[in-house]
Structure 1
Amino acid sequence: MTDLLAFQVAFVAILLLATASDIHSLRIPNLLPALMILLFLAAWVWGFPFRDPIWSHLAHFALALAAGMALFHFRWFGGGDAKLYAAVALWFGLGDAVLLLLLTALTGALVVVVRMLFHIFRALAFDSGPPEHRRRLFERKIPYGIAIAAGGIVTLLQTYPWSPS
C-alpha cells in the first residue's frame, strides 16, 4: 500500500465513522474532526502531494469553520457537522472549495428528500395520530454527516486519484 493510498484510506475511514455515528445518534464526536486534522498534519509532514499551498488549505479551513459556526448559531447546522466539514475542508485548498461545497450540498439535499419521504410514507402507513404529528415531519434533525462524508470522499477521488504515481 502506498503512502498516498494509506492516507486516503484513513481519510475515508474517519468519514465513515462520522457517518455511522451521525446516523446512529445524530452526533459527531469531537474526536473525529480532531483525527481528520491530525491526519492532515501527518500527511503534510509526510509529503502528501497536496495540489495547493498550505495557506490555501488553512484559508479554506478557516472559512469553512466560520461559515459552519454561523450556521450552527442559527441552528441550521449541528456543531459536529460544522467541525467535521471544516476538518474535511482542510484537506482541500481554496481551488477545490466550490467542488466540495457543491458535492456536499447536493448530497445533503438528497439526504433531506429521502428522509422526508421516509417519514411521510411512515406517517401515511402507520400513523393514525393527530395532525400535529404530520407537522413535525419537517422539524426532524438531519444526519448531515452523510452528506459531508460523501462530498469529502468524492472530492478526494476527483482531486487525488487512488492510483499510485
Structure 2
Amino acid sequence: MLPALQMILVMVFPALVTVGGLRDLTSYIIPNWISITLAAAFLPAALALGVPLGDIGLHAAVGAGALVAGMVMFALGWIGGGDAKLFAAAGLWLGWPACLIFIAATAVAGGALALSLLMLRSIWLRPFLPGGPAWFGRLVEPGENVPYGVAIAIGALAALPYSTLPNLMAVAF
C-alpha cells in the first residue's frame, strides 16, 4: 500500500482523539461521529499496516473491554456517554499492552484536570479569571461537570507510542 495512504489512515487516531478532547472541553459533548469514525477506521488502518488477524482480534477484545468499562463508569455517573464511547474507540486502536499505559495516563490526566478545575472554580481564584469565551465561563462554573474527554485524549496520545500496531509511529512521523 502507498505510504501516503498508510499515513492518512494512521493519522485518523491522533487527529480524532484530539478533536474529541477539544470538543468535550468547549461543549461538554463528544459527537458520536468521532467514536464511530475511529472504530470504522481501525480495521482499514490495521490491514494497511499488515497487522495479523489474531492481533486485530486482540485489539477488538481490548476495545470491547474498554466499552464495558466505559459503560460501567457511565452508569455510575463518573463519565458521560461520549466519554465512554471515546474510551472504547481509543482502546480498540491501542490494544494490549498499550491499554495499561492508556488507563494509567488517563487516570493521571483526569486527576490533574479535576484538581485544576477545582482550583479554577474556587472562590479565591474565580474573581481573578479574565472574561473569555462562553465555553470557558462554563468550564470554571462551580458545580459544572468535568470534561473527561480531555483526559481520555491525553491518555490515548501518551499511550500511542506503545501500541502494537507495527510501524505506527514510523508511518505517522
TM-score under structure 2 length normalisation: 0.78
Distance 1:55 1:49, change over 3 A: closer
Could you say which residue in structure 2 is the equivalent of 1:150? 154
SS at structure 2 position matched to 1:27: coil
Could you say which residue in structure 2 is the equivalent of 1:133? none
Residues 1:66 and 2:44 aligned together = no
CA contact (8 A) 2:99 2:159 kept: no
> Distance in 2 between the 1:116 and 1:48 partners?
45
C-alpha displacement of 1:71: 1.0
Distance 1:3 1:79, change over 3 A: same
Identity over aligned residues, as a percent?
A: 29
Distance 1:140 1:101, change over 3 A: same
Gaps of 5+ in 1: 127-135
Residue type of the partner of 1:162?
M
CA contact (8 A) 2:101 2:159 kept: yes
Could you say which residue in structure 2 is the equivalent of 1:163? 170
Aligned residues: 155
Q: Provide the aligned C-alpha RMSD in A.
A: 2.5
CA contact (8 A) 1:104 1:150 kept: yes
C-alpha displacement of 1:107: 0.9
> Distance in 1 between the 2:37 and 2:128 partners?
42
Alpha-carbon deviations, 1:79-135, whole Å to 9, x = none? 000000000000122322211100111111111111111111434658xxxxxxxxx
Could you say which residue in structure 2 is the equivalent of 1:85? 87
Gaps of 5+ in 2: 130-140
Residue type of the partner of 2:125?
R
Runs of 4+ in 1 over 4 A off after TM superposition: 1-4
